[in-house]
Amino acid sequence: MTVLRGLSIVALVLAAAPAVAGETVAGRWGDDVSCGALFFSANAPLTVTDYAVRWQGDSCRVGRMYKTGDTVHIEALCWDMAGERSVPVSLRPHAGKLAVTWDRARRADLKRCK
């Protein structure tokens, strides 16, 4: 019985490890105005999932995602009337905010939307 209890405790610790290890970037990020905007509007908040990222009119699927230190790097494959293009995205959580670098040019410090 004690072996089973020990294994249960180890399983719980391992399941909680990703949440303790660092802040997640998944979710909706913006400022007071963008957090209240409609989902597909040009001023909608940054939305990040395991499979997609959307921001400022760009809707993209995640081609590749990896992490270096605290920064999550995404190869976002975005599409528009001209076709699909690769957009580099870097997301770094810090002090309750998210530092965003989008296509090497746009930068923002966003808070998590409620």
Within-domain flag for 5: no
Within-domain flag for 81: yes
Within-domain flag for 12: no
Within-domain flag for 30: yes
pLDDT surpasses 60 at 55:
yes
Picking from 91, 98, 86, the residue whose alpha carbon sits closest to that of residue 35 is: 98
At residue 22 the predicted structure's pLDDT band, cuts being 50, 70 and 90, is low
What is the reported pLDDT for 8? 38
Within-domain flag for 11: no
Within-domain flag for 108: yes
At residue 114 the predicted structure's pLDDT band, cuts being 50, 70 and 90, is confident
Within-domain flag for 15: no
Segment 19-39 shows an average pLDDT of 79
Within-domain flag for 43: yes
Number of domains in the chain: 1
- φ, ψ for residue 15, nearest 5 deg: -70, -35
Q: What value does the mean pLDDT of the chain take?
A: 81
Segment 47-51 shows an average pLDDT of 95
* 68 compared with 16, residue with greater pLDDT: 68
Locus of tokens 């089973």: 4
Collect all residues with Cβ–Cβ distance below 8 Å to 65 and sequence separation of at least 6. 50, 72, 73, 74, 75
Segment 97-107 shows an average pLDDT of 90
Domain extent at residue 56? 24-112
What is the reported pLDDT for 91? 97
